[in-house]
Amino acid sequence: MVIHKWTVTSAIVLVAGFVFYFFIYDSPEKQIQKQFAVLAEKLEKQTGESPLISAGKAKAAADFFSHTCTVDIPEYDTQKKITAKEMARHILAFKSRFVAVQVKFYDLSVELTGENTALVAITAETRTTSASGEAEENIIEFECLLEKIEDNWKFYHISAVEVLEK
């Protein structure tokens, strides 16, 4: 009888551990994947979106970046260190040039390089619509270095690997 109770108790603890790991616990890879999904939402702009909403979303998007982030995009002759505050201004300036912006991230590959650092390879697709109705699509492969700061993964280096389509 004692062995039976121990076996049942062990089985319950084992099942609870599996449920926690697969349904509740987010691995660093899952956390980073969710972060990119939220970032895409913050970078987007809907037709008719008010400037105040755009500014709020740009500020929220900038929260995904460390205090200073190095951005390296050789195809656009861009290589500089940008603070999170400057990043919000750059995002807002970009979004203000268009009536609509759509952003999608896919082909996410996460490699944990340390306990609190990760290398992420990802493809970003942006679709923009100008005030004249002209649509443009850009697809760029990026390598991003992220570090975990106060339980949040933040970008500290972004480098364009290849511009696939302009």
- Compute the distance between CA of residue 30 and CA of residue 21 in angstroms, rounded to an integer: 12
What is the reported pTM? 0.80
Average of per-residue pLDDT across 32-46? 94
Domain limits, the chain:
27-165
Buried b / exposed e over 18-57, threshold 16 CB at 10 Å, is eeeeeeeeeebeebbbebbeebbebbbbeeeeeeeebbeb
Is the domain spanning 27-165 CATH 3.10.450.50? The answer is yes
Residue percentage of the chain with pLDDT more than 70 = 84
In angstroms, the CA 36 to CA 28 distance is: 12
What number of residues does the chain have? 166
127-161 confidence digits (pLDDT tens) = 999 989 999 999 999 999 999 998 899 999 999 98
